[in-house]
Chain A
Amino acid sequence: MTTATTPIRVLIGKVGLDGHDRGVKLVARALRDSGVEVIYTGLHQTPEQVVNIAIQEDVNAIGLSIHSGAHTSLFPRVLELLKTHHAEDIAVFGGGIIPSDDVGPLMETGVRALFPPGTSMSRIVEFVKGLPR
């Protein structure tokens, strides 16, 4: 049981094969510096690995960075696995190279927020801190 005073825990990760980790590291650092507990997965994770770590670490949210165009496959797969594990309460958000046409459909499948290039770190921190615990 968590209370509002417990720090929020977030898994930040890279799924799929792409190695673009500049953005994800900046987000991980910004969240850490604002008092969020961050678990960083490193590169080249599969959706299965991400969901397993998220459950083991009992996180409130999963933030994924995808620059390879595979977002239309990888976000739905993560959401589906969370459902299978009865862990739908873990919020999923993300960023990277995601065409605006894909944002709506991904939000409909249950992604909570998608941050485009150029988003300020404070906006992402604000979003994470506002997540229900």
Chain B
Amino acid sequence: MKIAHDSPVVHQKGSAEARPASHHPQDRKTPCTSLSGLPIADRYTQEDLKDWDPERDLGLPGDFPYTRGIHPTMYRSRLWTMRQFAGFGTAHDTNARFKYLLGQGQTGLSVAFDMPTLMGLDSDDPQALGEVGYCGVAVSSLEDMATLFDGIPLDRVSVSMTINGPAAVIFAMYLTLAERQGIPLNRLNGTLQNDILKEYIAQKEWLFPPAPHMRLITDTIGYCSEHVPKWHPISISGYHIREAGSTAVQELAFTLYDGLTYVEAAVQAGLPIDAFAPQLSFFFNSHNDFFEEIAKFRAARRLWAQEMKDRYHPNNPRSLQLRCHAQTAGCSLMAQQPMNNVVRTTLQALAAVLGGTQSLHTNSMDETLSLPTQEAVTLALRTQQIIAHESGVTNTVDPLAGSYFIEHLTNRMEEGAREYFRKLDAMGGMLAAIERGFPQREILEASQHYQEEIDRKERIIVGVNEYVESEQYAIPTLRIGKEVEQYQRERLRSFRAKRDPKKVTEALHEIQWFAQSGENLLPHLMHAVKAKATLGEMCGALKGVFGTYREPVVL
């Protein structure tokens, strides 16, 4: 195999995690291992929880180590936030979808940006050709941001923005818009994804090398700590790691280790732990293996609380609590018999709820084919509402606590994650591990193993390798017209024509100056937004100082 260009090939061998042999069921061929390859016994008893101390390892809901949830009463007091990730076409199109979703009982917004925006490029950049408005909404300027939230009071709706490479710039646009709406920044509530480590590991959308990206993240965390105290400046994400093919254990391990890396960077930058740790948030995948997923959420809370306590000794208990968003697994959706996806999503959503998530996105059945239609996204939202109001699972907190199986799996998840922690420590931390291609290779090995199990029919995927039907089901899909790109170009041209070019140039120079000085960049990015610099111009100015990045290709 040959890697084109000059990308160094990473030759390091995968750390062949011993994959336990499956038990030998007498009557069925199904592997008795979890989706992550953990062996599953035919029954669990107190023998499996010998070293388990319920007082130490479980506690009460709302108490350390938060295994049972971060709030004492969880969904009895307040349901999770139902937050469907949405964005397509122009800012007008997405604004209309937002208003529709809020009208249907959705309780928070979540913005999906298009690929050029995610890469810090304006809609009229040559590299944006053919991609404008396809995977999400195009936002190149303050004007686009204003249209996106037109008629939506930013102090009354919590807004999540899935943006990473150019997160600080997009956030500067959002803050500037809030100021323009007359809303004090300390009343804003929402989340910026802003997690670059998982980009290098899995999602692969970065702008700069790791060090300047880490600095932009600590700048955002520092700015929020001082000025936007109700905002989550980062959403430390396992979702994309899992989508790239990892196991549940790898998702848990790499995500929490990333989290500790950000905390250490912020502490090194001089921030007191309790000034920012209560604002951190997490984002997990909820995949097919029902009990394993529930155990993962519970293990995540316990592991985070213990690590934060041992390493940083915070005074505020909120610094120990792992808050999270969850999304059902996009990679589990199948193009074959797409209506089956509704059932998959229901089970995954139920696992996230039983796992104690704070907010949830349920995928639409058509998302393996295109962005969702309004009908499909409504059904996905209704799925959450049915779980919340009809199933009865919200009546008591952490109903599975004390189950031999669940507690055993929770322990196994934590042990597996701690084993990875030790390996990553030995490599000198996550940035060094990424440069060596370690997490990338572990994920690739796991994804190949999973694919081979499916190809050999050791794992059955209904409608794909079993119960296959020759008839193709056609479901409606959303079409994005080519006119979106043309419209965006025109809009950007008139936006640029109406500004003072001298002010823009000065503001971009200011960004470059402070990028070099090391001072917090957020106020200067906001100044450039007010001078009407575009996303691409600001990211371009930063690239001039920070440089760009080429990944070590792992195959």
> Which A residues fall within an 8 A CB radius of B?
11, 13, 16-22, 25-26, 28-29, 32, 37-43, 46, 53, 57, 68-70, 72-74, 77, 97, 99-101, 116-118, 120-122
Contact = CB atoms under 8 A, between A and B. Distances in A.
Contacts of B465: 120
B4 A40 contact: yes
B386 interface: no
Given A16-B115, A18-B135, A69-B370, 5 more contacts: A42-B553, A43-B204, A69-B371, A73-B131, A120-B455
Contacts of A13: 4
B335 A117 contact: yes
A118 B336 contact: yes
A17 B262 CA distance: 26
B464 interface: yes
Contacts of B245: 22
Given A17-B116, A42-B5, A99 B369 contact: yes
B425 to A, nearest CB: 27
B546 interface: no
Given A25-B444, A100-B369, A68 B4 contact: no
B486 to A, nearest CB: 13
A104 B243 CA distance: 28
Q: Which of B245, B333, B371, B465 gathers most chain A CB within 10 Å? A: B245
Contact of B204 (A19, A26, A69): A19
The 6 closest A-B pairs by CB, nearest first: A19-B204, A73-B130, A69-B134, A17-B115, A70-B130, A118-B464
B551 A43 contact: yes
A112 B220 CA distance: 48
Nearest to B336: A118
A118 B335 contact: yes
A39 B2 contact: yes
Interface residues of B, number: 50
B18 interface: no
A70 B134 contact: yes
B555 A99 contact: no
B444 A18 contact: no
Contact of B555 (A28, A57, A72, A117): A28
B477 A99 contact: yes
10 contacts: A17-B205, A26-B447, A38-B1, A41-B4, A69-B480, A70-B131, A73-B131, A99-B370, A101-B477, A117-B333
A32 to B, nearest CB: 5
B474 interface: yes
A40 B2 contact: yes
B1 A32 contact: yes
A48 B134 CA distance: 22
A40 B5 CA distance: 9
Interface in B446-485: 447-448, 451, 454-455, 461, 464-465, 472, 474, 477, 480
B127 interface: yes
B395 interface: no
B334 A26 contact: no
Interface in B398-412: none
B129 interface: yes
B181 interface: no
B461 A118 contact: yes
